[in-house]
Amino acid sequence: MRNIQILTERKKQIYHKGEEAFEIACEKKSLAGSVSQRACVFCGSRVVLYPIADALHLIHGPIGCASYTWDIRGALSSGPQLHRMSFSTDLQENDIIFGGEKKLYQALVKLIDMYHPNAAFVYATCIIGIIGDDIDSVCRRVTREKGIPVLPVHSEGFKGTKKDGYKAACEALAHLVGTGSIENKSKYSLNIMGEFNIAGEAWTIKKYYEKMGLDVSAIFTGDGRVDKIKSAHGAKLNVVQCSGSMLHLAQIMEKRYGIPYIRVSYFGIEDMSKALYDVADFFKDNLQITKKTKALVRKEIVAISPEIKKYKKILSGKRAAIYVGGAFKAFSMIKALRTLGMKVVLVGSQTGNEDDYKLLRDMCEDGTVIVDDANPLELSKYCLEKKVDLFVGGVKERPMAYKLGIGFCDHNHERKISLAGYSGMINFAKEVYSSVTSPVWQFVPGRSGAYKI
Amino acid sequence: MKAMTREEYTPVRNACKLCSPLGAAFVFKGVANCVPLLHGSQGCSTYIRRYLISHFNEPIDIASSNFTEETAIFGGGANLKLAIGNIIKQYKPELVGIASTCLSETIGDDVELMLRDYKKNDPEKKQPEIVSVSTPSYSGTHIDGFHAAVRSIVNSIAVKGSKKAEHINIFPGMLSPADFRYLKEIFNDFQTDDVMLPDYSDTFDGPLWTEYQKIPEGGTAMKDIASMGNAAASIEFGRILAEGESAGKLLKARFEIPCFSLGLPIGINETDLFFDALKTITGNPAPEKHIKARNRLIDAYADGHKYVFEARAAVYGEEDLVVGLASFLSEVGIIPVLCASGGKSGHLEKKLGEVIPDLKNKEITILEGADFMEIGEAVKTSNPDFLLGNSKGYKLAREIKKPLIRVGFPIHDRLGGARITHVGYRGAQHLFDTISNTIIALRQDDSPVGYTYM
C-alpha cells in the first residue's frame, strides 16, 4: 500500500511497537481535512444521556442533529420508550436572525404536556450560543412552571471533542443526583456507571451483582430512570465502565458525597471476572459476598468454557484489528481476542489519553500498530499491511473492512447483540467466528485461490 | 382532498427530512475523483457519513474543516485552507466539493470569497477544482442541498464548447444506484451519449477492492461536466424542482440548451413522457427492448389489477418522490390516501393534481412539512393498507400493523437499498409486483384455510 501516505501532522499519533521509541500524541482536536471517525461534542452528550427512558430529550437547533440521532442506539428500556423519539426545535432562518428562545420555550411546554416526562434535557447544538440563546434561563423558567427538572446540556458541536460532550452530560446528570430520597438504602449498594444497556447488557450485569448479594441503586444510564438517578447518592460505590464517558460524574460524586469509585470493564472473561472480584473486594467486610462472587464466577466460566474452546480451536492464530471510541474497551478486546487465540496487530481509539496508550503499548506484541483518532485511509493501510482477518469496530468501519475482504465484529452502541458478561463472551466468539470463517471470502478478488472469470 | 400545513409552532417529532449538507454530500460523491468537505463541526461529517453508510454499506469518506471555538470566533478561513490542503495531499482529488453548514453560515463565513483568495495563490491552476455550495441546515431539507450542489457544480464547471455536441445532459435527482445504471442503459439503447450528474451508481454500489481505493472508482468525469455546456439538450427530473432554480435552467439561460423538465419517471405515464423526450431529442424511435418491457408491464398490470384496485397507500418522502409514486399508484388503481413530505416547497398539492386525475374530489390527504408523528396521526383517518416510503416509517408500520414497502432513502433496516429500481418500466414492474404480492400475501395469511392459488 505504498500509495497511502500518512499526513505529516498525523504521524505523531501513530506508534509502531518495537520499531521506535514510545511517543504518541493524543487528546488533540482532529486535523482539518483528515476524515476523522470521531463525531462531536453533541454526539458525546447525546450517547451518554440517550438511554434515560423517562426523560424528554429535546435537541435545540436545525433539524440535522435530531434526524441523525433518532433511535440510534441499541439501548433497551424495560418500560418507557420516550428516549427513542427524536425531538427538535427545527430552527429556521428567521430564528437564526431573531433567536430561538421562544421556540425552545414553546417546544418544551408542548412536549412536556404531551408526554409527561420526569425530566427534560435540552441539547444545545453548534449555533445556539452564536445566535445568543440563553437556554439556561429558558430551562429555569420551564422547571418552575412545569415542576420537573429541565436541564440544559451545553453540547455545542465545535466546543471540543466527544469527550467534552461526555463531560457536559455528566454536568447535567450531576444536577439530578442528590435531589431524591436515600432512605432505606442498603449498606451493600452500588451504582453501575457507563453501562448503556445495549441489547440488555446492563440487565446481565445487574443480575450478577444481585447474585453476589448487592443492591444496584442506579444504572447510568442504561434502562435509566430519573428517580433512580436522583437517589443515586445513596449508593456506597460507583462502578464505572467505559471510563471516558462517566468518570467525570463519578469524580463529582466522590467529591460531593464521598462515594468512592472503581473502574471496570464487562467485556471478556478476564475483565468481567476482575470487575466482580474488585467489587466484592470493596465489600469484603461481608464474607458472604466474597463467597457468592467466587461461586458465581466459577459457575459462569465452567458453563461457557467448552464452547469457547471450540471457537478457539478454529480461530487460533487469526489476526485482528481493533478501533473503538474509548481506549478502555480496547484493553478488554485485546484480552477477549486472546482468549479466542487471536492476535491483535492494530489497535486504536478515538479518544484515548497518554496513559491509555502506554497501557496498550505494554499489552501489545512487537509489530503492533497503535493509532489515535485514525482516519479510514490509515486504518485500511494497516489492515492490509498487517494482513488482518477481523476488524472490531463500529458502523463507520464496517464497510471498509468488508471492501477489503476482512471479517467484522460490531462493538459499537448500535449493535443488537449483547457482548458483555459471560454470555456476551459466547456471543462475541460466535460473531467473530461467523464473520472470519464465512465461505463468502473465497470470492474476494485477488485472494489466492479466488476464481477469475 | 384535504391539504394540511401546520399553523402554530410545534416542535418536530421524528423528522421526515434531513439537513441540506447531506444532500450536497450525495452529489459530490457522484463526481469522479471528488472529495466532499463539510465546512463546520466534525460531527456534521461523521453523522452524515454514518447515515449514508447504513444505507449503502459502502465506505464513504467525507472530510470536515473541523471547527474549534477559535474558528467560530475568528472565522473558518484558516481551517478551510488547511482542510483543502490536507485533502489534496491525502486523496489527490480532481474536485473538492465544499458544502457549508449551519455553523459556518451563522458566523457569516463567505466560502466563495475564501476560495477566491485560495485560488489566487494558484495562478497556474495546478490545484484541483474547488466548488462550493451554500447549504445552511436551517433552510430547506436534504433535497434542496442536493439540487443546489448539482447547480453549483454545473455553474462552476460547465463551459461552452467550440461546436455543438450531440450528447444529452441528465439531472436525475436523488435516485438509487440501480436507477442510475438503468437510466444509462436507456440512453445507450437510444444510441445516444449522456452526461448524468450526479452519478453515484458505482461509488455508492461498488465491488470489493483488490487494493485500497482512496476515492472509489466511478462518478461523472470532470471533463464530461465541462461538456454539459454544449449538450444537445438537458433532461431534468422533478415536477417540484421545475418550480425552482435548477442546473437545467441555468444551462438553458447561459448556453441556450433546451431543457426538458419532467416528473420522476415512476410508472408508465411519467416514463412515457421521458421516452417521448428522448425520441424528440435523438430523433430515434423507442428501442424495441424497452417497448417489450413496457408491454410486459401492461400485461402484468392486467394480471394484477383486481388485487390492487382501490387499495389504500400512505406515501411519504421527498416531495418529488411522493409525486412520482402517487402517479404510479394512481395509474394502477391504488389510492394514495396520504401523501406526505418533510419538504415544504408549497407546490406539492398542485403537482399531485397534475398526476392524480380529479384529485380535488378524491379522499386524499396531503401533508407538507410533516414529521412522522403527524403522518402517524393522519394515518388514523386515512386508514391505509400499506405504507410506501423509506425505512424510517417502520415504527409507524409496526404500530398500526400494516406492511411497509421500502423505497427511496434511507433504508437502514434492510440490505439492498442501493439496488431498488424505482424509475422506468423496469422500476414500475418491480413496484407493481412487490405491492401486488404484499397485498396478496396479506389476504392469503388472513384466510382461515390458507389457499395455494391466488
- Using CB atoms within 10 A of its CB, is residue B452 exposed (0-12), middle (13-18) or buried (19+)? exposed
Per-residue pLDDT, averaged over A160-181, amounts to 95
Percent of chain B at pLDDT > 90 equals: 90
Query: Which residues of chain B are modeled with pLDDT < 50?
Result: none
pLDDT score recorded for residue A1: 46
Q: Is the pLDDT of residue A2 over 70?
A: no
Phi, psi of A192 (to 5 degrees): -90, 125
Range of lowest pLDDT (A80-84, A360-364, B419-423): A360-364
Residue-level pLDDT at B7: 60
What is the reported pLDDT for A3? 65
Cβ neighbour number for residue B4 with a 10 Å cutoff? 15
User: Which among A5, A31, A65, A68 is the top mutation candidate for probing chain B, defined by the most B β-carbons within 10 Å of its own β-carbon?
Assistant: A68
Q: How many Å lie between the alpha carbon of A406 and the closest alpha carbon of chain B?
A: 10
Which chain A residues touch B90 with a CB distance below 8 Å?
Answer: 5, 7, 33-34, 375, 377
Place of cell 423526450: B277
Kindly state whether B77 is in contact with chain A, defined as any CB-CB distance less than 8 angstroms: no
Question: Which domains does chain B carry?
Answer: 20-157 (3.40.50.1980), 168-282 (3.40.50.1980), 288-446 (3.40.50.1980)
Q: Write the ipTM.
A: 0.96
For chains A and B, count residue pairs whose Cβ atoms are closer than 8 Å. Answer: 237
Q: What is the pLDDT of residue B32?
A: 98
Percentage of residues in chain A having pLDDT higher than 90 = 81
Residue A184 is predicted with a pLDDT of: 86
- Chain B closest CA to A164's CA: distance in Å? 12
Which domains are seen in chain A, by residue range?
Answer: 8-24+316-415 (3.40.50.1980), 41-175 (3.40.50.1980), 189-298 (3.40.50.1980)
- Euclidean distance between CA atoms A266 and A260, whole angstroms: 19
Q: Given A4, A33, A62, which is nearest B83 (Cβ)?
A: A33
pLDDT tier at A325, thresholds 50, 70, 90: confident
Would an 8 Å CB–CB cutoff place B212 in contact with chain A? yes
Distance separating alpha carbons of residues A444 and A442, to the nearest angstrom: 6
The mean per-residue pLDDT over the stretch A158-185 comes to 94
- For residue B242, what pLDDT is reported? 98
* Closest C-alpha to B384, from B433, B335, B428: B335
CA distances from B235 to B90, B184, B186, B247 (A): 36, 13, 13, 10
Report angle CA A171, A174, A180 to the nearest 5 degrees. 160
Cα-flanking dihedrals φ and ψ of residue A62, to 5°? -65, 170
The amino acid at residue A53 is A
Calpha distance B220→B237 (Å, rounded): 17
User: DSSP for B278-311?
Assistant: HHHHH-PPPPHHHHHHHHHHHHHHHHHHHHHTT-
If pLDDT is split at 50, 70 and 90, which confidence band does A23 have?
A: confident
Query: What is the mean pLDDT of the segment spanning A196-203?
Result: 96
- Report how far residue B68's alpha carbon sits from residue B451's, in angstroms, rounded to the nearest whole number: 65
B87 to chain A: closest CA residue: A33
Q: Quick check: A10 pLDDT over 60?
A: yes
Query: How many Å apart are CA A213 and CA A189, to the nearest integer?
Result: 9
Chain B residues in contact with A31 (beta carbon < 8 A): 66, 82, 86
Which residues from chain B sit within 8 angstroms of residue A99, using beta carbons? none
Full-model pTM: 0.96
pLDDT score at B9: 87
pLDDT of residue A294: 98
Higher pLDDT, A174 or A244: A174
